[in-house]
Amino acid sequence: MFELLTAAGAPNLQVESRLAYSMGAPSVIEWGDAEQQERCLRAIATGERWCQLFSEPGAGSDLAAIDTRAVREQGGWRVTGQKVWTSMATSSQRGMLLARTDPAQPKHRGLTYFVIDLATPGVEIRPLRQITGEAEFSEVYLTDVHIPDTDRLGPVNAGWKVAMSTLTNERDMFGTKATESGPVELALTLYRERAGDDPALRARLVQLWLRGHVLRLYAARAAGRPSGAPGPQSSVSKVGFAELNKAGYELCLDLLGDEALLYDTYEPGELTAHSGTGAARDPRLLFLRSRANSIEGGTTEIMRNILAERVLGLPAEPRVDKDLPYSSLRRG
């Protein structure tokens, strides 16, 4: 449906508000009450942008180690902490926030999930300038931020389950955009312009196109599963997207030939969020940017662990801190 709407010129929420549409909306549908669904889904459908306030300086792959605290107060919660590597925070109106509400519980069980208004006093967003001059990511400081209890999504201390819904939908999101844009489209354009009739490059392009469509169809099938919420199989989409991007932009540079060595925008550019247009479409920039695809949104190593343990049923890695109170764990 969205492909047809986009082809007709309608705004594509999967691109313009992709975190709100692909991650926030499914979480609200699954965990929100009727009032939250009415309020949040209407805003998302009209283009409201959301960001994800999960990762912290000391909590990346081990997300359950987050230390941002939320303490009950009259009418809601007072939140203090720091988030980092937050995509599109500078252009978002709301954030999906995971905070610790009970340090006496084990680290996975004392978390609560909120949808926070980023205009709330005490929220400070500091863009992180990348080498390209963009500021796709930010660090976000929360200082005595009041969040109404009506903005809590899901039960108190059950935030880990809500966050897993958000993250599995994020991984499914990667597969759905495998052939809509990016390396497949760009490689096809460059091949038509430059490759002539090189059989080796043509074979690589065909393989890339096939991989992209297989990944997209896998994600579409996963989205239509009868069980509703996505499961650990969504990690396939995340791994596939990262590998497709890397292989695709490598092919783009090979199609450029000697021009792949020329990149004339090394000076810091305007401090803006990544837009996917203009200089951001330069295959040399995108080749460098794609190196991060196997890290952001869950590293490929973590994704393969999830698939091994939760899909294939292989023995899990030992986790000695799983049942210990968070307050007793050494950090730093």
Three-state DSSP at 71 gives strand
Neighbours of 75 (CB within 10 A): 10
**H helix intervals, the chain:** 2-7, 13-16, 18-19, 25-31, 34-45, 159-176, 183-190, 199-223, 234-256, 283-290, 300-306
Please confirm, yes or no, whether 35 is among the known catalytic residues. no
Residue of 134, 136, 139, 170 with catalytic role: 170
- Amino acid 253 reads L
| CA quadruple 253, 256, 261, 267: dihedral, nearest 10 | -90
The angle formed by the CA atoms of residues 290, 47 and 52, to the nearest 5 degrees, is 50
Asked if residue 143 lies in contact with residue 296, where contact means CB atoms within 8 angstroms, the answer is no
Q: Which of 280, 298, 281 is closest to 130 using CA atoms?
A: 280
CA-CA distance, 83 to 139, in Å (whole number)?
6
Task: Tell me how far apart the alpha carbons of residues 309 and 295 are, in angstroms, rounded to a whole number.
Answer: 20
**Residues with active-site annotation:** 170
